[in-house]
Amino acid sequence: MLKHIGEKAKEASYELQGKTTLEKNKILQEISNQLSEFSKEIIEANQIDMENGRKNGLTEGLLDRLLITEDRIKSMQESVKVVYDLEDPIGKMDYMKTLTNGLKIGQTSVPLGVVAIIYEARPNVTLDCSILCLKSSNALILRGGKEAIETNKKIVEAVQKAFKNCGTDPNCVQLIEDTTRESAQELMKLNGYVDVLIPRGSRGLIQSVVQNATVPVIETGEGNCHIYVDESADIDMALKIIENAKTQRIGVCNAMESILVHETVGDSFYKGLEKIINEYKIDVHACEKSIGKIKNASAATEEDFYKEYLDYAFSIKVVDSVDTAIKHIEKYGTHHSDVIITNDYNNSLAFTQRVNSACVYVNASSRFTDGSEFGMGAEMGISTQKLHVRGPVGLKGLTSSKYIILGQGQIR
């Protein structure tokens, strides 16, 4: 079954490679129009997914990821507008030089070809990936999770209708409706059709793809994101950032999951932290040095420091220096997004230089690690690897390059 999807995607990718920026932007505008036309159907389909999610015991964080509302559809349309306005990444000549033999050599940006993504309960990803792949001239194969299947079907129906209305092959975006494990395994091995596969979701999903795929993979990562409160930190600032990073949305990969606190930080910090804990009813897993400072905290285990909670919960540990904080993050973190709250220049420099994460912050919330917040309009995921692309994967991350050589009859 998937071979047929792969064949159609490969053929559609050739058509997309020939599209001008004007033609691609026309399709983007039509996608926004179709989101309006399909909004009622999308929300009704999402209500089915939400009800099934509740029956199947999805956590509050996962249900929040799954939910589609009128406001979230408007947010999707805003993402379309941003991508519409972004510079087309295809056909950009990075440089041109002339060799002594007269050959002119240049390097230009080209699409990857066929991009596939395996993801879980986030139907907004369906739209984000569709518009990014369109603008970067890549065909797209979507394989979402069973939790969002009805919503995904309607979003893809809207997107494909936009392609049809603009006289373009709707197979530029395809959804695999089979949500069994077998379909994911088959997609991982669709060599000859899939040029790159992106897994987006839980640690189990990502590791399954990394270990089993025979097609090239861009590895995204779960988000065990840390906030380190340095000895020189502005306490009010630290508490404000912690509250935002932990509670604004609990079910996302850029939410804070662990706090590190310098041992000299005083009681005013812990009193303020306790107010946040009580207001949001947060479950705290504390080290032996901090457990006495936080009422009703449980003793943290080794496993707690590794955990991405995706819930109203976090771990906390007292450290004696910025060096110890960095070592802790290196051991327990996921190289996603990590934060230092400090007024010490040397400590901020050490943190940004030595923390080996895709995004490293000084005095700001980890919640900004997002393609939209970074001005990309949307993202395919947050890459935590180092090769090809790192951090939010936007238009540039969906391109490769090729050399163009111009001659006048030269031979070697």
pTM for the structure as a whole: 0.88
Is 342 part of a structural domain of the chain?
yes
**Do 200 and 230 reside in the same domain of the chain?**
no
Take residue 273 and report the two structure tokens written for it.
């932290």
Is 373 part of a structural domain of the chain?
no
**Do 235 and 215 reside in the same domain of the chain?**
no
Backbone angles phi, psi at 360, to 5 degrees: -125, 125
- Residue 386's identity, in one-letter code, is K
**Do 77 and 185 reside in the same domain of the chain?**
yes
Is 378 part of a structural domain of the chain?
no
DSSP secondary structure of 189-223: T-TTT-SEEEEES-HHHHHHHHHH--S-B--B---
CATH at residue 101: 3.40.605.10
Q: How far apart are CA 308 and CA 333, in angstroms?
A: 9
Identify each DSSP E strand in 144-287 by its residue range: 173-175, 196-200, 225-229, 256-262, 283-286
Q: How far apart are CA 76 and CA 82, in angstroms?
A: 10
**Do 319 and 397 reside in the same domain of the chain?**
no
**Do 216 and 230 reside in the same domain of the chain?**
no
DSSP secondary structure of 333-380: --SSEEEEE-S-HHHHHHHHHH--SSEEEESS-GGG-STTTTTSS--S
**Do 240 and 187 reside in the same domain of the chain?**
no
What pLDDT, on a 0 to 100 scale, did the predictor assign at position 97? 95
Beta bridge partners of 228: 260, 340
Is 216 part of a structural domain of the chain?
yes
**Do 202 and 240 reside in the same domain of the chain?**
no
CATH at residue 346: 3.40.309.10
The range of the structural domain enclosing residue 42 comes to 2-220+393-406
pLDDT tens digits along 115-157: 999 998 889 999 999 999 999 999 999 999 999 999 999 999 9
Composition of the chain by helix, strand, coil, percent to 5: 45, 20, 35
What pLDDT, on a 0 to 100 scale, did the predictor assign at position 161? 98
Place of tokens 């990075």: 94
Total number of domains constituting the chain? 2
**Do 60 and 174 reside in the same domain of the chain?**
yes
**Do 52 and 200 reside in the same domain of the chain?**
yes
**Do 204 and 266 reside in the same domain of the chain?**
no
pLDDT tens digits along 210-265: 999 999 999 887 899 999 999 999 999 999 999 999 999 998 899 999 999 999 99
Query: Cβ atoms within 10 A of the Cβ of 270, count?
Result: 18
pLDDT tens digits along 187-216: 999 999 999 999 988 788 888 999 999 999
**Do 34 and 66 reside in the same domain of the chain?**
yes
pLDDT tens digits along 376-388: 888 998 999 888 8
